[in-house]
Structure formats: structure tokens, C-alpha cells
Homo-oligomer: A and B are copies of this chain.
Amino acid sequence: MQDIQALARQIFSNQPFTRHMGAQLTAMGSDHAEITLPIADHVKQQHGFVHGGAISYLADNAMTFAGGLALNGDALTAEFKINYLRPAVGTHLVARAKARSASKRQAVCQCEIYAVDGSEEKLCALAQGMVVPSN
């Protein structure tokens, strides 16, 4: 359990794109993971909201880690879908992913992405996808 979480932290810190985004792995468990992204200018689109592509990165990555933890090893997102619910504004985004089911060959995950402003969290996107062992 500790080992797989240590592996997850190591993989996360070894992702150059994750560093480029400025995201942090803020919580983990046996079947879930949480990634937090400060809302800096560089993640915004033309209207000042967070770009959908930045939100989809968060969903993809949070589900990879939730699925990998549930599958107990290095994993990758094979596919996912995302629905955007409202413009994402605030100080940071929090993506919480959970494996709803895990077998040897797949973990099916769901992810909720919240925009946080002070003490208020607003659900701004929902995602669902499949994570598979990476080999």
C-alpha cells in the first residue's frame, strides 16, 4: 500500500507536463486520487476561464492515478470522456478521481473537477474513463 503510493508520487513527479502545468498530487488512497491545479494565467482561455484542455488534463491524470492505485501498478488512461458543466473560475481546481470497478485488465474511473474559490467549491466538469495496466 505504501509502496504503491510511493510509486505514484514518484511517477507524478517525473511527468514533465505535470510540472509544466503546475499540478500537485494532493491526496491518494487505495482506489482514488486527487490532483490540484492553481489557476494561473497560463491555464486560461480567451475569456479568462480555465481552458477546457487544462481541465481535461486534470481529469485524464487524476483517473490514471486512481486507476493505477486500484490496479496496484503503473497504468495509463486508455480512453475517457468529459462533460463541462460551467466556466471554471477561482483560485484553483481540484480533480477527484475514483476507481468504481477494477479487474485484472481495466479500472473504470469517474472524476469530479471542482473550481475552488475561498471556501466554496463548484462542480465544473465530470469525466469517466478506463485505465489499463501499462504493459
A residues whose Cβ falls under 8 Å from a Cβ of B: 11, 14-21, 41-46, 50-54, 56-58, 60-61, 64, 76-86, 100-101, 103, 105-106, 108, 110, 123, 126-130, 132
- Shortest beta-carbon distance, A81 to chain B, in Å? 3
Cα distance A106–B125 in the bound complex, in angstroms: 13
Cα distance A83–B128 in the bound complex, in angstroms: 8
Is the pair A81, B128 in contact by a Cβ cutoff of 8 Å?
A: yes
Given A123-B100, A126-B108, A130-B83, the answer on whether A15 and B46 have CB atoms closer than 8 Å is yes
Other-chain residue from B15, B19, B52, B132 in contact with A77 (beta carbon distance below 8 A): B52
What are 8 A-to-B residue pairs whose CB atoms are below 8 Å?
Answer: A19-B42, A56-B57, A79-B79, A79-B83, A81-B128, A83-B129, A108-B126, A110-B126
